[in-house]
Every structure is written in structure tokens, then in C-alpha cells.
Amino acid sequence: MDNKDKIGMFDSGVGGLTVMRQVQKLLPNESIIYFGDTARVPYGEKSRDTIISYSKEIAFFLLEQGIKVLVIACNTAASACSGNRLQQIFNIPVISVIDPAVQRAVEVTKSGRIAVLATRGTVKSGAYQQEITKRLPQATVFPIACPLLVPLVEERMVDHPATRLIVKEYLKPLRDYNVDTLLLGCTHYPLLSEMIQAEIDDQITIVDSATTCAIEVQKQLLIHQLNTEKTKPDYHFYVSDDPENFRLNGQFFLGHPIHKVHSSIEQLISR
């Protein structure tokens, strides 16, 4: 087993790479190991128990690679594993992509009126709505399901007029909702944040769950004195399906080239 010196993170696919991108920006000395469960993507339609069992499997795999902190960079997995479900099992800090975004949203809102853009599955799960009102009971949450944004981002159409038309339409109800905070509750959406920003009132603050998650990782490393300051960082990528496919698609989400992706099929199947 390696030394416990890496940040471990996982998602059902490539989306979590937007979280990794922010972690790399904020913590350029840290080594990262990323797991994409591409054989079992999408998690959205699967049962809670199935997703928890997948998440545990992946967490064990990452722990064996020597991680010092675990980031659940997948909204569906983070929602299924809410309430410290993984933190209770593992002796390293576990950070969910949902919690820091929710915390930030309730800090920045003045009116308590918060919109959440997410996939239909995340909206239906009620994860953001529940977490927000748990922290700020007087909050009014307006979830907006944006089912086409994931396929559009995956087609790299983040600067396309068709995407702009669709974004405009999804954001239309904001006028009536009169929110002061807009939470991007899907790992794909940071790639559309400029377009979204251009379509909304300047007075509305955007909370991007990838950025807030990276800040929380930085904070947890500080609290637990786990920072790496001197090494040259390593980045490793593991997937449960075709590595090349992930490599080609992942680069767009990560924002820089991915050179090698390992297949972890045997390791996971052998459990």
C-alpha cells in the first residue's frame, strides 16, 4: 500500500472531473486519484441501496490506493450517502459535493430564496431542498430540473446558440421566483456557468458546487494537517469501463490533457 498522501475522489462518470479541476487549481501540490464508475453510469435511476453499495466498493478501492481524504464528487452518490454514512465507516475525512455548496448558499442568501439547478433525478431526490432547509429552516428553495444540460455539455456544446436557448428557457421561472442565490447542483454545470451568469440578474449570486467542494477539501486538509507542500503531484485515473473513452471525454471536463487511464474492472469484480 502507498503512503496515505493522495486526495481520492469518485463520480459515476466524467462529471466529477469539474470538481477535480477546482481542487487542482486550489491545491496544485496535491496528488489526486480519481475513479469514474463508467460501467455503471448513470446512477440517477438506480436505487439508494445499490448506489450506497457501489460507493462503498469504490471507497474501499481508493483507500487501498492510499488516500488521505475522500471526495464524493457525484451528486447522486453524495445524496444516497448523506448523513455521514461513509464518514461513519472510514477513518479519513469524507467530503460530499452537496454539503459545502449548501453551506455556501445559506451563507450568501439574504432573502432565503434559493434556486437549485440540477438533473431531474437530483431534483426528485430532494437532496438539496432538504439540506438547505435543514440549515436554514426559513429558506424557500426553487428546484429547476434541467434534463438537457448534461447531454449538451457532454456534446461539448457549452458555447452553442441552441444551448443558450435551452438555458434561457430553464432560467425563465427565475424572474417570478425572485431568488438572490442560484446553486449549480450538478457537476456538469460549472462548464455552463459563464452562459448561466450572462442570462441572470447581476444581483443573483451563483454557487458552484465544484468550487465550494474544492474549498472544503482545502479546509479539511488544513484542519487535519494533511497538506502536502513539497512534492510534485501525481494524477491517476481509474474507470470501470473503457479507459480510452474516458480519457478522450474527460479532458474537456478537466480542462487539460489526461495521459493515462487505468481500468479497474478486475479489482472491483474480485470483491
Nearer to its own copies among residue 112 and residue 147 (C-beta): 147
Nearer to its own copies among residue 26 and residue 165 (C-beta): 165
Nearer to its own copies among residue 39 and residue 136 (C-beta): 39
Q: Which residues of 84-107 are buried (b: 16+ CB within 10 A; e: fewer)?
A: eebeeebebbbbbbbbbbbbbbbe
Task: Pick from 7, 152, 206, 207 the residue near its own copies by CB under 8 A.
Answer: 152
Instruction: Tell me how far, at minimum, the Cβ of 37 lies from its own copies, in Å.
Output: 13
Residue 4's SS3 state is coil
Instruction: Tell me how far, at minimum, the Cβ of 241 lies from its own copies, in Å.
Output: 8
Active-site annotation holds for 81: no
Nearer to its own copies among residue 127 and residue 152 (C-beta): 152
Active-site annotation holds for 74: yes
- State the binding string over 81-120 for its own copies (x if CB under 8 A, else -): ----------------------------------------
Residue 102's SS3 state is helix
DSSP state of 191: G
The overall longest dimension of the chain from CA atoms, in Å, is: 55
73 neighbors 213 (Cβ within 8 angstroms): yes
Q: How far apart are CA 255 and CA 19, in angstroms?
A: 11
Footprint on residues 166-225 left by its own copies (CB under 8 A): 166, 169
Q: How far apart are CA 67 and CA 83, in angstroms?
A: 21
The residues that touch its own copies, with contacts defined as CB under 8 A, are 147-148, 151-152, 154-155, 157, 160-163, 165-166, 169
Instruction: Give the residue numbers marked as catalytic.
Output: 74, 186
